[in-house]
Structure 1
């Protein structure tokens, strides 16, 4: 069993590892558009006899060598195993996340990276204490729910009310502002499964949307179908935000099978004229105005003061060990950086590896990093976060200057052997590099 798990993560996840590693190994030609330095196009073949717009023989050989090494390496799995086993869940601002930061510093040092440190920041704290729900009438049975991050609590002892189902968030928004007083809103909108994850954005809108629209209409609580496409009784949590001036109502996600069950109960109760379906909910939470989180940062010093950023987010939700979201990203980028570290000589540009804190609850670590490093953002020439799970990489997206698109497509040619290709110049780079991208730093994304 261990051999199978190791092989799966190595052969699939590490494909992403190489792409990050391959691009980072070509750091002399990764250059930010509109900076007072040569363009990527001009840098291709720099210091070699390569034709303009082509990789040199040495660059291609080095990229292929990194791919070969990564395919044989168990390092990404070992890092992930260590994080998820020794630390476990890492809710933002929690004791678990604090231990994870110390783990991160130790891990970076053990890999030989320099300047390993924790850069702290503050944020509000939220955690769940209790969450239960059940159909109380006319078909009594338990429901599997989880409170959404930042949800307010129910009254002590819980609440109960008639459930009103809406097939989509749009349907709820179209509903009259009266008629839902004292009731529980149920938004039963499914997520569409897509290869590139594009179904997530539309589906996640109902987390905050259901809460705010329910509060606007006088409802006492909101339930949503989990944002996910699995068929297990494991409800998916995630962060939500209340709008200013709206009554805040407790909000939770039902697992997909439980959402199906509740929808069937509502339909059957109506057909049988058995009366409205009523649900009892009890959600208790703990909050603090301020707590401490932090980003763990380390570097492979380069020959210049320009910086390439790669990383993942260290925090996770508290319902699991965060292996996929985003332990995989932490492991992949650290292992990729290790490949660069072990090459002879120093990279032209500094490779900065970041374990961002408090991503899940609102990109607090991302904003803190951009603020704390604002005076050196002009030296950031490329950034990417691995926060899309683990698996075969099939596409690469860039966001560079128009004159550099052709060169970027050239850069990614070596990973065509892995089944990946360039798919456009509209990359977001990953959630935690959003402030960097907004500041004009070029980014790339792997899918």
Structure 2
């Protein structure tokens, strides 16, 4: 909505004879005037961030001292201990490990091969939530479909008894839209295949790499749908399978998986705060997830994100001036396999969700931030544009008020929490996401520092400005 005073001024301008000689000011051009002393402090923070290696040190430490940290594993428990120790060393206050129940899935071993017409072994990984096959494996004809929509267009007789192969290739995009457009094959495809009588499902990896590495991730089976074995093929192996199907000869495939679900176990959200000067001013939530998939160190997803938000809060704690609002860093448990930590965090604070002034999260790696989106009250967009001017020199474009934030913010966003949403370059991110190649070598220290500078400036402003950001029902 356009604020009433601005609408009045605009109508007056339209009625003025000066209109022909004066440039027309549009509501979307409004930029708020924020306090100069606050902006100057934010600029100083940007410079400090560009010269700091704390985020790198934290990222390197988590990957060196812990490594893969899948929910419920020894690595997960080691990560929680590591995070608690680092927060204590950095002087955070009100530190806690908030207990979270998490599912426990074991990947096991996998073997996937084309058995006809031209036998070849394939590189594949099981999808999180898959069950195993019988000891002898499952061998069946392949039914290739492009995506879930095409699968639903088939009759049950065309699918029953087959291994369904989803062939859609993810488009490599800067804004992650390519991932969004393809990931449904992984999250819901196997369940739909099961409902139609398939004995197993394989997908082309939901990633953009042409290296012979497969991309894992979770798949979901509703309680009333039979679980079937499900796996992802590397892109070169998916190409091979497509070429064999294209010969017109019947293609058969054999899968052997030992994946299985165990009883749920415990993990924890790791929480630490930098107290603000005004206890009634609310909380700025800095979020990232601590876990990773079991096959990967998870450097970009999301060790570097842990480094970004933790270093930003520490950097502000070292300033002479205390922030007005409390900065709360939450390193969420089990984002990868069900958002367990996010849901627990929101449920435990269900009576005080309004204390969250704004959320600023990181979960798209540490490639350079290139766009700034928001999820705020439309009347506050002039403030968003002012914030953008602050980070624009770092190479950041102004985005839209249709941001997303991070998955761990979903329960809080649904409850009305505003979000400031720096968007990292997703094109290189999905070359390595959820694969064995997501290593420290893929993290660029200079781009990591740029991330910290963007987040530090936005966090300082969010911690101190007096602006109503919470979206209203009219904004939905």
Q: TM-score under structure 1 normalisation? A: 0.85
- Do the aligned residues in 1 keep the contact of 2:273 with 2:328 (CA within 8 Å)? yes
2:63 and 2:294 map into 1 onto residues whose CA distance is: 12
Are 2:360 and 1:381 equivalent residues in the alignment?
A: no
1:224 to 203, 220, 223: 203
Q: Hey, what does 2:271 align to over in structure 1?
A: 297
1:179 and 1:56 map into 2 onto residues whose CA distance is: 66
Q: Secondary structure at the match of 1:414?
A: helix
Name the stretch that deviates more: 163-172 or 363-372.
163-172
Q: Hey, what does 1:351 align to over in structure 2?
A: 327
Q: Secondary structure at the match of 1:375?
A: coil
1:286 and 1:168 map into 2 onto residues whose CA distance is: 26
1:441 and 1:246 map into 2 onto residues whose CA distance is: 34
- Do the aligned residues in 1 keep the contact of 2:291 with 2:335 (CA within 8 Å)? yes
Shift of 1:244: 3.7
Q: Secondary structure at the match of 1:200?
A: helix
Deviations along 1:14-67, one digit per CA (max 9) or x if unpaired, are xxxxxxxxxxxxxxxxxxxxxxxxxxxxxxxxxxxxxx9313332222111111
1:303 and 1:416 map into 2 onto residues whose CA distance is: 29
**Aligned-residue RMSD, C-alpha:** 1.4
2:54 to 59, 75, 79: 75
1:446 and 1:66 map into 2 onto residues whose CA distance is: 17
| Unmatched 5+ stretches in structure 2 | 1-30, 424-476
Q: Hey, what does 2:396 align to over in structure 1?
A: 420
Shift of 1:290: 1.5
Are 2:369 and 1:393 equivalent residues in the alignment?
A: yes
- Do the aligned residues in 2 keep the contact of 1:384 with 1:433 (CA within 8 Å)? no
Q: Hey, what does 2:184 align to over in structure 1?
A: 205
Within a 5 Å distance, the mapping from 1:3-42 to structure 2 comes to none
Shift of 1:384: 1.9
Q: Hey, what does 1:86 align to over in structure 2?
A: 65
Are 2:343 and 1:367 equivalent residues in the alignment?
A: yes
Shift of 1:106: 0.6
2:290 to 310, 314, 329: 314
Within a 5 Å distance, the mapping from 1:22-421 to structure 2 comes to 53-268=32-247, 270=248, 275-305=249-279, 306-421=282-397
Shift of 1:380: 1.0
1:437 to 410, 413, 417: 413
2:260 and 2:154 map into 1 onto residues whose CA distance is: 33
1:71 and 1:153 map into 2 onto residues whose CA distance is: 48
Q: Secondary structure at the match of 2:161?
A: coil
Shift of 1:289: 2.5
Shift of 1:209: 2.8
1:409 and 1:178 map into 2 onto residues whose CA distance is: 56
1:361 and 1:261 map into 2 onto residues whose CA distance is: 29
2:146 and 2:405 map into 1 onto residues whose CA distance is: 33
- Do the aligned residues in 1 keep the contact of 2:273 with 2:326 (CA within 8 Å)? yes
Shift of 1:322: 0.6
Shift of 1:139: 1.4
- Do the aligned residues in 1 keep the contact of 2:131 with 2:261 (CA within 8 Å)? no
Q: Secondary structure at the match of 2:160?
A: coil
- Do the aligned residues in 2 keep the contact of 1:394 with 1:419 (CA within 8 Å)? yes
Q: Hey, what does 1:33 align to over in structure 2?
A: none
- Number of residue pairs aligned between Structure 1 and Structure 2: 391
1:246 and 1:117 map into 2 onto residues whose CA distance is: 38
Deviations along 1:76-116, one digit per CA (max 9) or x if unpaired, are 11111110111010111111111100000011111111122
Name the stretch that deviates more: 55-64 or 376-385.
55-64
1:246 and 1:377 map into 2 onto residues whose CA distance is: 34
Q: Secondary structure at the match of 1:214?
A: helix
2:223 and 2:96 map into 1 onto residues whose CA distance is: 37
Q: Secondary structure at the match of 1:161?
A: strand
Name the stretch that deviates more: 356-365 or 419-428.
419-428
Shift of 1:243: 2.6
Deviations along 1:338-371, one digit per CA (max 9) or x if unpaired, are 2111111321010000110000011110000001
Q: Secondary structure at the match of 1:93?
A: coil
Q: Secondary structure at the match of 1:339?
A: helix
Shift of 1:181: 2.4
Shift of 1:263: 0.7
